Chain A
Amino acid sequence: MMNTQHAAQQFTQATRRAVAQTERRAVIRRNIGSYHQKVAEGKRRYANWAAARDRAAARKQQVLAQWDRYLEAFEANVIANGGRVHWAETAEEARRIVLAIARQHGVRSVVKSKSMVTEEIHLNAALEQAGIEVVETDLGEYVCQLRGEPPFHIVTPIMHLSRQEVAVTFRKKLQVAASDRAEELTQIARQRLRAAFLRADMGITGANFLIAETGQIAITENEGNARLCFSGPPVHVVLAGIEKLLPTVSDLALFWPLLATSGTGQSLTVYNSLIAGPRAGGELHVVLVDNGRTRLFAAGEQREALRCIRCGACLNICPIYQNVGGHSYGTTYQGPVGSVITPWLRDDDDWSHLSYASSLCGACTDVCPVGIHLHHHLLANRRDAVARGRDAWWQRVLFRGWLWVMQSPERYRWAGRLATWAGAVGLRGPRGFPMPVRRTFRDWWSGQR
């Protein structure tokens, strides 16, 4: 277990290193630049993006308003479809469930498609420890796995890497002669992973949406690897956060385009699949993971973040994320949404330093396709951190003193004078910011009367 100091200090150190890497920042800026261009084009297709967003927000909010009922309905329908449902309160419990399924089927090899919840519960390490081969099959995730790195971004896991760096990784880890052409690198991955699909006896996927009405699992992807994960191996295990619900399958007529446009600028992602049961002769297991989500639900207004569809838009627009990158956060979910939810999802540490690591510019809130007021929730997290006594004692004293000063115009005036004198003897504000001037506005005002 880490202590508070630790995670916060690590963040500060990691971000110091990150901002010093100007080349890395340039790669990120370039990738994000092309994302923004595509998204702007994509949004132009909508008759009314803001109305679509409000509608999506309302549908997800309706789920939260009757969350338990939607969960029960979903469960009942999965069972009716011939699938099995497992519930996990913690990451540990979720891992245990998956391992038990694997053991029961004598699984030796697993193929996985991109799933953030499996990152969240550190599933790969657990499977590997049990002697099971795990292969990430999304191209970006595959590269991450080869490099032994966590994803840099919840949607585009290797957006920090140049082609050259990917090529070096392939040469080193796969012992292949690879040029740095994206086309060739993709082909190499395709060939390598084909073999993995054919030998796997279990496929693990995440879920973009869980449809309460029908018990379907909706999975969105561009590559086709998720389709192979749930089509090849006889056992399909779905890991999903319990907030992934949508009321009806028809809601996807809104959410599929919205997710695609916010995620990559596409009007639809290439493959949008709906799984309603096991394949012929196979098994379907759905693991519903809480792991702090009900804690977030109990938090207060921040529960709005449970609407999140993990599109990544708030990361891409975030000037902090753009400059410090995904790895600095030290969390599964990076960027604004990660800063909002991590303090609730993880109890190994406080994580409220992330809520302070924001200029509160609100760009995230503007782009969120489900209308989450992200920057307001960062403020609420700060409030809650103070309420829980997570603030530094000197800061508390400072603000008490500051309040005392500001409650009286005379004290305020004197504090200003004091600061002016301090400035006159050479004291500077932080980062060279100026100190108060000799003749303030109110001096001028009383002077001209």
Chain B
Amino acid sequence: MRVGLFIPCFVDQLFPQVGIATVTVLRRLGLHVEFPESQTCCGQPAFNTGYWSEARELARRCARVFDGYDVVVAPSGSCVAMVRNFYPALGVAPPPVFELAEFLVRRLGVTDVGARFPARVTYHDGCHALRELRLKEEPRTLLRHVRELELVEMDAAETCCGFGGTFAVKFPHISGAMDEVKCTAAARTGAEYVVSSDSSCLMQIATQLRQHHPTLRTISLAEVLAST
């Protein structure tokens, strides 16, 4: 199986540790992963803003970059959803992309990646992972098998954190209000960490936590799974 790594531009530039953790987990499972260095962005920002011809250019590019891989794994539900669910709307055949948890649980049938993370955590469902990819149990299954980790559900785990890409910039007040609702729910669980498959959600959540719930921190699912 030829495994390609798709590290969204966002993760590459802002949260490289998430990409590194993804590599760590996959290698621990004995997989040989490749990172085609010509990859850039999947085109989602343009697509979501209405610039479909710009997005199409990048979609074609992305499909070319990952041509020939049996699977492409990415630590982001959002970018995987863009590729798998929205490339067809642009007339581009999507490469076989999988979100990390989806790949591990659904494709490999792995639920225990041998991780240890001694903390109380709560899981935030990224909207794309939840509603475009229908991943609900997969990340939780993985978390439940992490040693010394206690998973507590928050109310409104499925409620959007308010990021939404350019939405957070165009309507910061609405985005902020949504973030506030989310973080209040997360804080009520008494967890130490908010975990999610999407670093963009976590970035949004972290801005609110820094101000109002300084004891609660964010960490990506990949990093939790990489810890031992």
Indicate with 1 or 0, residue by residue over A296-331, a CB within 8 angstroms of chain B CB atoms.
000000000000000000000001101110000000
21-78 of chain B: CB within 8 A of chain A: 23, 35, 37-41, 43, 45-52, 54, 57-58, 61
- Does B131 have its Cβ within 8 Å of any Cβ on chain A? yes
Cross-chain pair count, CB within 8 angstroms:
165
With A403-B57, A440-B16 in contact, is A362–B131 under 8 Å at CB?
yes
Asked whether, in the complex, the Cβ of B167 is within 8 Å of the Cβ of A434, the reply is no
With A416-B13, A441-B16 in contact, is A319–B7 under 8 Å at CB?
no
Least distance between B62 CB and chain A CB atoms (Å): 10
- Does A359 have its Cβ within 8 Å of any Cβ on chain B? yes
* Residues of A close to B175: CB separation below 8 A: 359, 431
* Residues of A close to B160: CB separation below 8 A: 319, 359, 361, 363
Chain B: CB-nearest residue to A400: B54
Asked whether, in the complex, the Cβ of A437 is within 8 Å of the Cβ of B40, the reply is no
Chain B: CB-nearest residue to A353: B170
With A400-B54, A445-B37 in contact, is A19–B177 under 8 Å at CB?
yes
Per the bound structure, the CA–CA distance linking A362 and B127 in Å amounts to 7
* Residues of A close to B45: CB separation below 8 A: 399, 402
Q: Pick the interface stretch among A44-52, A262-270, A337-345, A378-386.
A: A378-386
Asked whether, in the complex, the Cβ of A403 is within 8 Å of the Cβ of B58, the reply is yes
* Contact-size category for A: 35 or more
- Does B193 have its Cβ within 8 Å of any Cβ on chain A? no
Q: Which secondary structure dominates where chain B touches chain A?
A: helix
Asked whether, in the complex, the Cβ of A433 is within 8 Å of the Cβ of B207, the reply is yes
* Cross-chain contact of B131 among A324, A356, A365, A396 (Cβ < 8 A): A365
* Residues of B close to A362: CB separation below 8 A: 127-128, 131-132
Q: Could you list which residues of chain A lie within 8 angstroms of chain B, going by C-beta atoms?
A: 12, 15-16, 19, 25, 319-320, 322-324, 356-363, 365-366, 379, 382-387, 391, 395-396, 399-400, 402-403, 405-409, 412, 416, 419, 430-437, 439-446
Q: Could you list which residues of chain B lie within 8 angstroms of chain A, going by C-beta atoms?
A: 7, 9, 11-14, 16, 19-20, 23, 35, 37-41, 43, 45-52, 54, 57-58, 61, 86, 127-128, 131-132, 158-160, 162-178, 181, 203, 207
Question: Given A432-B207, A441-B20, A445-B23, 9 more contacts at CB 8 Å?
Answer: A319-B162, A359-B167, A379-B48, A402-B46, A409-B40, A431-B169, A431-B175, A434-B14, A441-B16
